[in-house]
Amino acid sequence: MTGASGASRPAAEDPGAPGDPAASPVGEFELLERLAPRLAPDGPELPVGYGDDAAVIDLGGAAACVTVDAIVEGRHFVWELSTPDDVGWKAVAVNVSDLAAMGADPTAAVVALGRPADLGASSVEALYDGMAAAAAHWGLDLAGGDVVRTDQLVVALTLLGRIDPARAVRRRGARPGDRLVCVGSLGAAAAGLELGIAGHRTPEPLLAAHRRPRGLVTAGRALADAGTHAMIDISDGLGADLGHVAHASGVAIDVWGASLPVPPEVWEAADALGKDPWSLVCAGGEDFALVAAVAPDDAAEVARRAGAAEGVPAAVVGEILESEGEPRVTLHLDGQRRDLRRLGYDHYRDDDPRDQGGPT
Amino acid sequence: MTGASGASRPAAEDPGAPGDPAASPVGEFELLERLAPRLAPDGPELPVGYGDDAAVIDLGGAAACVTVDAIVEGRHFVWELSTPDDVGWKAVAVNVSDLAAMGADPTAAVVALGRPADLGASSVEALYDGMAAAAAHWGLDLAGGDVVRTDQLVVALTLLGRIDPARAVRRRGARPGDRLVCVGSLGAAAAGLELGIAGHRTPEPLLAAHRRPRGLVTAGRALADAGTHAMIDISDGLGADLGHVAHASGVAIDVWGASLPVPPEVWEAADALGKDPWSLVCAGGEDFALVAAVAPDDAAEVARRAGAAEGVPAAVVGEILESEGEPRVTLHLDGQRRDLRRLGYDHYRDDDPRDQGGPT
């Protein structure tokens, strides 16, 4: 027999409370490491377990590549800059990007929609229009979902795709000597968001990059077919995401700043915002570019083909080196070196409308 | 070129605003019907599309049965009654129940966790402990997920299972003459929640039914193997969920009140709460019992076997009749008839900590 205990929400006495370093992304990554023992590693029925862009599940006769990313009001979009239609599109696109980073082929999605009381039915329809448009664009089925009342709009979309488990490209697998290939440009989404929030005039390509990102499925498949050793999509920022690759592959990574594909509007945006452009380029996040470790002889040609397949910039932007113990990601620029993982950390703020970096 | 428009969250000028009837479950079902054109119906690559307990996706060589349900603070649980561990368990169990209702075999889950700032790392670990315990209980892999900052705890869990698409049991398919079989008891979870919130002494079985529901996978498989014509799990309440079966199958349903499996504590709870016990039994929701339409000659034996397989009560509780136009679900009790769908509607309140009834 138990009555109401009078107990309230569990106390935030432990790391993760507001203002606590654990609420920062480094803390968040630490938290994810603390959670890892509860999650399933690779196994016979789980060819790719916890800790990659997507999991791969053996269903007996075929495998499903599956990922879930949630889009949250005030973190991944603001109503000042995005319509409900944009939000629906983005919920699909960010997940398409995760499957692209495995070399998978998106097939179907289900969505859990947390709907605040003041989001009217027409807005919900518009949000579904955006999801349906993205689903049509990438040739996948929107197969259903759940609607529940919440205080804040949350769109948690799960995407399934087809994959040959033996050919899934992972975060691990990068080899010393590999070249780093980047397909898609960097800094545009963060520049669009920051200019828009600050009320500056915002070039349409930057705003579009924030509002309606692309997921580079065709490039991902081209990179996988070319025998890419490791791959990730850039959601948290180049520094943080290459940190995952360095950690998973047990390597160091050099990035050549002058080679990174950065639209000219991003430099102008950094000027207008009075901020270090490299924080937009390397730590802004939500670029949904793909970065891949490719054997050195093939890299330039592989980059060219993958970029051409999507009509986006692509380049060889660095190289993989032997590990020196701790994972290291270094930006080389004008003869100087900067720690790219730290750049990501420095510019991550708790009020920043971005993800906290949960790997699937 | 576009600057910040100054526009705020889309206006709630349309149905769905607070106080609007559209915010009630009937309105919500109407909304889901308005959304349906954006969702994928059954097709060659989607053996079961929008509108069932789970979707079935053809992956070429095998199929995935997939469902997503979100557990939200203040709607599906309150911290006064549940620990983070309970919440994690429940997030898995409610989805297991959806797969059970298709006759599928749960295989792996991914989770999008919306974490409020004041939910500490230890509480998140406890929540994952609960998910891991449930995953172990049902023999599935917790394959990863996403963590994002939200104002309110949201656990959107997606569950995948194995299924033979040709044998998936759906909401449609109930035939006039079939008997209605119920496996699992009714009213306990709602009684536990309402007693607990009201601060009454709460019998442990009722509280456990609310906190840590069961998902009747073995019973679901037994019912599917027995050639069940239609099936659903009771999440929104017997009346609302049988309404879905009546609608999808184009039939009327009679429910025999005296035959429903109701634990004795539920009658006592209704007394203590001073409320109609049938609102707890038929509209309380979160029972996660299975109800199935079974050929009349087999029904009693099928019910007995499915209940025995799980160690839960099971009974023949009604019958399927020819449709009379509108879907109809009628409770027969002491010579009286009550409209079970209306009973569900009457007792659904916007501040009620339950789902708004999203089919997957």
Last residue of a domain, one of A165, A182, A204: A165
Q: Residue A15 pLDDT more than 90?
A: no
Answer whether residue B96 is part of any domain. Answer: yes
ipTM of the complex: 0.89
A209 and A138 in a common domain: no
Answer whether residue A16 is part of any domain. Answer: no
CB contact under 8 A, B83 and A10: yes
Spatial separation of the C-alpha atoms in residues A172 and B249, rounded to whole Å? 49
Q: What is the pLDDT along chain B (360 residues), one digit of tens a residue?
A: 333 333 444 544 443 333 343 444 446 778 888 999 999 999 999 999 999 999 999 999 999 999 999 999 999 999 999 999 999 999 999 999 999 999 999 999 999 999 999 999 999 999 999 999 999 999 999 999 889 999 999 999 999 999 999 999 999 999 999 999 999 999 999 999 999 999 999 999 999 999 999 999 999 999 999 999 999 999 999 999 999 999 999 999 999 999 999 999 999 999 999 999 999 999 999 999 999 999 999 999 999 999 999 999 999 999 999 998 888 999 999 999 999 987 754 333 444 434 444 444
Residue tagged 């620990």 (tokens): B83
User: Cβ-count burial of A337 within 10 angstroms (0-12 exposed, 13-18 middle, 19+ buried)?
Assistant: exposed
Sign of CA dihedral B313, B314, B315, B317: positive
CB contact under 8 A, A118 and B152: no
CB contact under 8 A, A38 and B110: no
Q: Which candidate, B261, B72, B69, B240, places its Cα nearest to that of B184? A: B261
Query: What pLDDT score was predicted for residue A32?
Result: 83
B227 and B98 in a common domain: no
A100 and A46 in a common domain: yes
Three-state SS string over B227-268 comes to CCCEEEECCCCHHHHHHHHHHHHCEEEEEEHHHCCCCHHHHH
State phi, psi for B223 to the nearest 5 degrees: -65, -40
CB contact under 8 A, A142 and B38: yes
User: What is the domain range of residue B143?
Assistant: 23-165
B331 and B264 in a common domain: yes
Min mean pLDDT across A8-17, A135-144, B273-282 is at: A8-17
Answer whether residue A352 is part of any domain. Answer: no
Answer whether residue B81 is part of any domain. Answer: yes
Beta-carbon count within 10 A of A204 CB = 12
The answer to whether A204 and A213 are in contact (CB under 8 A) is no
Provide the pairing of β-strand B141-149 with B105-115.
Answer: parallel
Query: What pLDDT score was predicted for residue A72?
Result: 95
Last residue of a domain, one of A165, A192, A225: A165
Query: What pLDDT score was predicted for residue B27?
Result: 67
Q: What is the mean pLDDT of residues A184-198?
A: 97
Contacting residues for B109 by C-beta, under 8 A, at least 6 apart = B92, B95, B131, B135, B140, B141, B142, B143, B157, B158, B159, B160
Spatial separation of the C-alpha atoms in residues A158 and A196, rounded to whole Å? 29
Query: What pLDDT score was predicted for residue A145?
Result: 83
CB contact under 8 A, A107 and B59: yes
Query: pLDDT by residue (tens digit) across A34-89?
Result: 999 999 999 999 999 999 999 999 999 999 999 999 999 999 999 999 999 999 99
Contacting residues for B136 by C-beta, under 8 A, at least 6 apart = none
Mutation for A interface: B57, B155, B268, most A CBs within 10 A: B57
Min mean pLDDT across A12-26, A173-187, A217-231, A302-316 is at: A12-26
Looking at residue B56, which CATH number applies to its domain?
3.30.1330.10
Please give the DSSP secondary-structure letter assigned to residue B73. B
Q: How many CA atoms lie within 13 A of A279 on its CB side?
A: 15
What secondary structure does DSSP assign to A200-237, as a single string?
--B-HHHHHHHHS----HHHHHHHHHTT-SEEEE-SS-
Cα end-to-end span (Å), chain A: 40
Contacting residues for A298 by C-beta, under 8 A, at least 6 apart = A226, A227
B152 and B177 in a common domain: no
Query: Average pLDDT over chain A, rounded to whole?
Result: 89
Query: What pLDDT score was predicted for residue B188?
Result: 98
B221 and B276 in a common domain: yes
The answer to whether B106 and B138 are in contact (CB under 8 A) is yes
A122 and A186 in a common domain: no
Answer whether residue A196 is part of any domain. Answer: yes
User: What's the gap in Å between the CA of B285 and the closest CA on chain A?
Assistant: 14
Looking at residue A281, which CATH number applies to its domain?
3.90.650.10
User: What's the gap in Å between the CA of B27 and the closest CA on chain A?
Assistant: 10
Rounded to the nearest 5 degrees, what angle is found at the Cα of A330, between the Cα atoms of A329 and A334? 160
Measure CB to CB from residue A2 to each of B35, B55, B202 and give the nearest one: B202
Last residue of a domain, one of B148, B165, B182: B165
Q: How many CA atoms lie within 13 A of B133 on its CB side?
A: 17
Q: Between the CA of residue A195 and those of A22, A81, A188, A274, A283, what are the distances in Å?
A: 28, 10, 10, 11, 16
Query: What pLDDT score was predicted for residue B26?
Result: 43
Answer whether residue A13 is part of any domain. Answer: no
Query: What pLDDT score was predicted for residue B100?
Result: 98
Query: What pLDDT score was predicted for residue A324?
Result: 84
Q: Give the annotated binding-site residues of B for Mg(2+).
A: 53, 67, 69, 98, 146, 233, 236
Strand ranges in A30-178 using DSSP code E only, listed in sequence order: 55-58, 63-72, 105-115, 141-149, 154-162
The answer to whether A180 and A146 are in contact (CB under 8 A) is no
A244 and A137 in a common domain: no
Strand partners, A279: none
User: What's the gap in Å between the CA of B336 and the closest CA on chain A?
Assistant: 34
Tell me which H or E stretch contains A136: helix A121-137
Tell me which H or E stretch contains A254: strand A251-256
CB contact under 8 A, A62 and B66: no
**Total of domains in chain A:** 2
Answer whether residue A351 is part of any domain. Answer: no
B127 and B96 in a common domain: yes
Q: What is the mean pLDDT of residues A119-129?
A: 96
B205 and B285 in a common domain: yes
B81 and B213 in a common domain: no
A158 and A184 in a common domain: no
Query: pLDDT by residue (tens digit) across A208-263?
Result: 999 999 999 999 999 999 999 999 999 999 999 999 999 999 999 999 999 999 99
Answer whether residue A359 is part of any domain. Answer: no
Closest CA in chain A for residue B104: A59
Name residue B116's amino acid.
P
Residue tagged 């005030």 (tokens): A74
Cα end-to-end span (Å), chain B: 40
